[in-house]
Amino acid sequence: MEKNILKRIFFDEHNHWNQFLLKHENKVRPIVVKEVEKFKGCGKVVNGFKLFVCEGCHDVKKVAYRCKGRFCTTCSVGESEEWSRLMSHDMFQVNHRHVIFTVDEGLREVFLLHRRLLKPMMDEAAKLLRDYFYKKTKVIPGIISGLHTFGSRVNFNPHVHMLVTMGGINAQGEYVKYDFLPFEMLRKQWQTVVLKLIRKNLNPREKKQVQSRLQAAYQNNGEGFYIHAPKQKGKIEEQLRYIGRYMRRPAIGLNRIEAYDGQNVTFTYKDKSDGQQKKETISVEEFISRLIRHIPDEQFKTIRHYGMYSRKTKGDTRKLLTKWQKEVKKWIVRIGSKLKRRNWREKFLAAKQPDPLRCPKCDNCYIYKGEVCLQEGVLTIRVALCDNTRNYLERVIHYFTSQQTTQKEKQKQINYYQGTSNIRMSIV
C-alpha cells in the first residue's frame, strides 16, 4: 500500500472523517479532533516549511514541517525509534526484564468508559514490583512504564509494558542483583490491586453499573490476571532499544493495512490464541472508531518513570552508583557521554537513505535559506537570510493563500449545488 494509505482512508473523496464527525460529534473527544487535524496537515508545505537552495544549480527544496502528533503514524514511528535510541544509551547497563501486566477482557470497557483509571493502573503496577523488590532485598529497582491501549485487532485492550531492572540500589548506594519474579503470587496480587483500584475510583452509581463485570473478572481468573515477563538474551543495549521501540509503537503499522476499497479496510493481525497470521475486513467507520480510541487524553503521559528511573531521584541515584562502580570496577553508568537528538537529515543517513541535502541534479549541497510557519493560522516568514529569499517566500505565501481561497470558493459551490439537488429530490 502507498505511504499515505491512512490519510487516504480518513480524507479521500469519500470524506469519511467528516462524515464520522457529523454522525458522532457528541461522542468524539476534543483532543481526538485536534490530533486528527494535525495528522491531516502533516508534511504539507502549505502548513510551513524550511527552504533550501542548491549552491550549484540553485534548485529549490522545500522541507515541510511534521506535525509530531500522537496520532500520526509517520511521526510516531520516527519518534519511537529516536526515543528508544536515547533511552537505551541513558539507562543503567544492567539486566532488565520486559514485564507486561494485563487485565481481564471483561474489564477493558470499564477503562474505556473511565479513562481516568489508566494512570492509577500504571502507578499500581509499578508499586507492586517496587514493594516486592524492597520486601525481598531492601532495594529500589528502576522501572520505565509504557501504556498500550490496543490489541492486535486495534481493539481497546489496556495493558502496561514495563522495563524493570533485575536488581536495584540499596541504602548504601550499592547495586544489588535480584533476578526472580514469582508469577503466581504477583498475578493474584495484581488481580486484587486492579479490582480495588476500580472500586476506589468510581462513584456508587458507576460501581453499580460495573459490579457484574468485577465479579466475573474475579471468578473467571482463579490464578489472577495474566503477567508476562520473558528473560531477555543478547546485548543489553540492543535489548533496551528493541523493547523501547515496542513500548512506543503506534496502534497499527501501515504495513498491516492490506486493502482499502473506499468503504472497507482489510488489515492483518496475529491471533495470539493460535499464533496464526490472520486478516480482518471492517467498515471504514468501524476502523476509524477503533483507531481514535487510542489517542490519549490531553497531557496524558503514556511513558512514566519510577524507582531509580524516577525523574526526581535519577540524578542522585546516578551519583551514588557512579561512586560505587569506581570502587567495585563494575561499570553500569555511562560517564561523560550523552547522545543528542538527531535532526531529520541525520535520521535519513542513519537509515542508509540518500542524503536529503545532496542535490540529485548536480551533486552539490543544499543550503538553508529560511523558513515559513503558521502563526494563528496565517503563513508568516519566520527566517529569511537575504532579501532574495524574503521576496521568494513572499511570492510562495501569496501563491498558497490564493490557492486556498480558490479551493474554498469551489467547495462552497459544491456544497451549494449539493444542497439544491437535495431540495429538488425532496420536492420530487
SS (H, E, C) 201-264: HCCHHHHHHHHHHHHHHHHCCCCCCCEECCCCCCCHHHHHHHHHHHHCCCCCCHHHEEEECCCE
Amino acid 407: pLDDT: 62
Instruction: Report which of 54, 70, 73, 71 is spatially closest to residue 62, judged by C-alpha positions.
Output: 54
Q: Which one-letter DSSP state was computed for residue 140?
A: B
Amino acid 249: pLDDT: 81
In the sheet that holds 264-271, the strands lie side by side as: 257-260, 264-271, 276-283
Amino acid 274: pLDDT: 87
Instruction: Report which of 134, 132, 117, 138 is spatially closest to residue 229, judged by C-alpha positions.
Output: 132
Amino acid 234: pLDDT: 63
pTM, rounded to two decimals: 0.87
Residues 104 and 150: their CA atoms lie apart, in Å, by 14
Amino acid 73: pLDDT: 84
What count of other Cβ atoms lies within 10 Å of the Cβ of residue 401?
A: 13
Dihedral-angle region of residue 155 (phi above 0 means left; psi in -120 to 50 means alpha; beta otherwise):
beta
Query: Do the beta carbons of residue 11 and residue 41 sit within 8 Å?
Result: no
Amino acid 82: pLDDT: 85
* pLDDT tens, residue order, the chain (428 aa): 456 899 999 999 999 999 999 999 889 999 999 999 999 999 999 999 999 999 999 999 999 999 988 899 888 888 888 888 888 888 898 889 999 999 999 999 999 999 999 999 999 999 999 999 999 999 999 999 999 999 999 999 999 999 999 999 999 999 999 989 998 999 999 999 999 999 999 999 999 999 999 999 999 999 999 999 877 666 777 777 777 777 778 889 889 999 999 999 999 999 988 889 999 999 999 999 999 999 999 999 999 999 999 999 999 999 999 999 999 988 888 876 678 888 889 988 988 999 999 999 999 999 999 999 999 889 999 999 999 999 999 999 999 988 876 665 655 554 544 444 433 333 33
Amino acid 124: pLDDT: 97
